[in-house]
Structure 1
Amino acid sequence: MDPHLLTTFVTVARHGSFSAAAAELGYTQSAISQQIAALEADLGLPLLSRRPVEPTPAGRRLLEHAEPLLLRLRAARADVLRAAGGPRHRLTLAASPLGVNATLAGRLARARAAQPRLEVTVVTCGRERVAAMVAGGGGPGAGGRHRRAQRPAAAPDAGPLTTIGAGEEDLVVALPADHPLARRAALRLADLVDARWLQTPLCPLPRLRDLVGDGFPTGLEHRGDDVRTVVALVAAGHGLTLLPASALPPRPPAAPAEGPVGVPVGAPRLVHRVELLHGALPPGPAADLARALTA
């Protein structure tokens, strides 16, 4: 059995979704379906039911073997590389709090697998600090920002940096599960100007006022960049905010309503764009990592 196919199978089973597995692994949904089909053809057994997506009895048995096997393979690879010795390449990836989503994390995993001597340290900090670290050290950085769809983004003023889009996703209004608007299919930002909002660096209120106009009173000011704190404050009713849908904790459809929910923004369309920043990168591990992260 191909370890890559096993990895795809384990990821789909964990998420219960082909599309979520595709986002994590950086493939298209059709490629994920083809890989699962190839694994099922190899074994001659169905491994996943499709509606809902969950392991069949044979799939559950395979899961019992697949995860330990993949762990052993990773351990064997690391052990062989340690025994082989040789120079190691150490890079620091500076990232804003919302700069590393599941897609970028999956690309980073594949980049590290392709460069076995590569050691990456991920440092989370504010966007301006990301730009300063990249300008000072020359390594890549991943920054995330909310913006109107189709509007070009400007790189921070920190010297001659290259900015490359690494992905984007629609923003949602994060609000408590018991909020009167929580069951709406979509919300217009203009209809929320009188609601109380969190003033947080992750979604500064002046940007919303630039888009829509006056309003958006502050319910609570949050100083920091911890996403979990913002999610907890929203859930407790301290104010609304905008977040990428992937920043909210997943909730099974049958589970009771707990925590915040995300309602899409109908107008204007707003997206969270992840951008890779880097200075001049000569051929080598840093340039290879930059290409992998924006593939």
Structure 2
Amino acid sequence: MDPHLLRTFTVVARLRSFSAAAAELGYTQSAVSQHIAALEADLGVRLLDRRPVAPTAAGIRLLGYAEPILLRLAAARADLTRLAAPRPGPLRVGATPLVVAAAARLAEGGRDGALTLHVTTRADLPRRVATDELDLGLRDGFAAPNDPLPGADLGPIRVEVQGVEPVVVALPRTHPLAARRALGLADLALARWVDAPEVAAPLTQLRAVTGADGFRAAVRYLGADVAGLLAVVAAGHGLAVLPAGVVRAHADLVGVALAEPRLVHRVELLRPAPADGPPGGSGG
């Protein structure tokens, strides 16, 4: 399976257009059509319907394999390039919104004191470290006490745990549950919630860990500003699961401990594996 053909297929499937894929890839539309036809001939299945352009059932199945394969190849290329010629210039550090300040401290004394700090998403940060878009990445997330965060299994990445702290349900001080010592998360499934997937625990994760239907968003908060999210919760628009220290620092909020399920806020440093080490990542 030719990775060039596979890449063309993923772009066409994402854009739902041969002409748009040709423009993005820098090919002619005829070349894109030939790539797709060659891949379909190689696999013996039709991958894309043409009118309108959309992946078939086989195409959808292939996408599940294609994107991780292409990412692994890009990570391998970046790793070998890094070994051959270390990149000069400012230290490039990525961070998810809750740990930007910690990332800035971590990068002190970088290359000649120069630093480029990128605020990025939890899902995208491992990819950007693996493909050499970033030299270091600091990310946060929510997990069971002994579990690593998902998504760093891209080969040449080393994972180092930087911190673990309890999580709480953030509520306004005037909320009827604010005086409780602890709360079961499943009991709050029908409460009003703020869905802030890049700052708080995502509601999809809360549904998964409790097995409870519910956790519907009263407010969708798609920003990366932590102070903005805290203001939304303090104003009574919905609850959020956050690190205890973040909530403790806000005068108008109360953090109530989670009785069950057990979750922690985890912070991990991602960096390329050393040149003399194996190409696999290691957890801590």
TM-score range, shorter chain: 0.5 to 0.7
Deviations 1:212-231 (A, max 9, x none): 12122221111122211211
1:276 aligns with 2:269: yes
| Residue identity in the other structure for 1:230 | L
1:244 aligns with 2:243: yes
Residue correspondence of structure 1 range 24-103 to structure 2 within 5 A: 90-100=90-100
Choose the corresponding residue for 1:136, options 118, 131, 152: 131
Equivalent pairs, count = 186
Distance 2:136 2:148 in 1: 20
1:150 aligns with 2:146: yes
Distance 1:141 1:175 in 2: 31
**Is the contact made by 2:181 and 2:257 (CA closer than 8 Å) also made in structure 1?**
yes
Distance 1:265 1:170 in 2: 9
Q: Alpha-carbon deviation of 1:159?
A: 4.7
| Residue identity in the other structure for 2:159 | T
Partner of 1:63: none
Distance 2:156 2:237 in 1: 40
SS at match of 1:153: coil
Partner of 2:205: 207
Partner of 1:232: 231
Distance 1:280 1:227 in 2: 31
Label 1:101 to 1:270 Cα distance change in 2 as closer, same or farther (>3 A).
Answer: farther
Q: What is the percentage of aligned positions where both structures have the same residue?
A: 40
1:263 aligns with 2:256: yes
1:220 aligns with 2:219: yes
Partner of 2:281: none
SS at match of 1:99: helix
Q: Alpha-carbon deviation of 1:153?
A: 3.1
Q: Alpha-carbon deviation of 1:160?
A: 3.0
State the TM-score, normalizing by the size of structure 1: 0.56
**Is the contact made by 1:155 and 1:161 (CA closer than 8 Å) also made in structure 2?**
no
Task: Give me the CA root mean square deviation.
Answer: 2.7
Residue correspondence of structure 1 range 282-293 to structure 2 within 5 A: 282=275
Q: Alpha-carbon deviation of 1:275?
A: 0.7
Distance 2:122 2:148 in 1: 17
Distance 1:117 1:206 in 2: 42
Q: Alpha-carbon deviation of 1:96?
A: 0.6
**Is the contact made by 2:181 and 2:256 (CA closer than 8 Å) also made in structure 1?**
yes
Partner of 1:178: 174
**Is the contact made by 1:128 and 1:156 (CA closer than 8 Å) also made in structure 2?**
no
**Is the contact made by 1:155 and 1:163 (CA closer than 8 Å) also made in structure 2?**
no
Distance 2:149 2:126 in 1: 14
Deviations 1:117-173 (A, max 9, x none): 433332211123322321232511001011121234333455532222111111111
Distance 2:155 2:193 in 1: 34
SS at match of 1:262: strand
Q: Alpha-carbon deviation of 1:99?
A: 3.0
State the TM-score, normalizing by the size of structure 2: 0.58
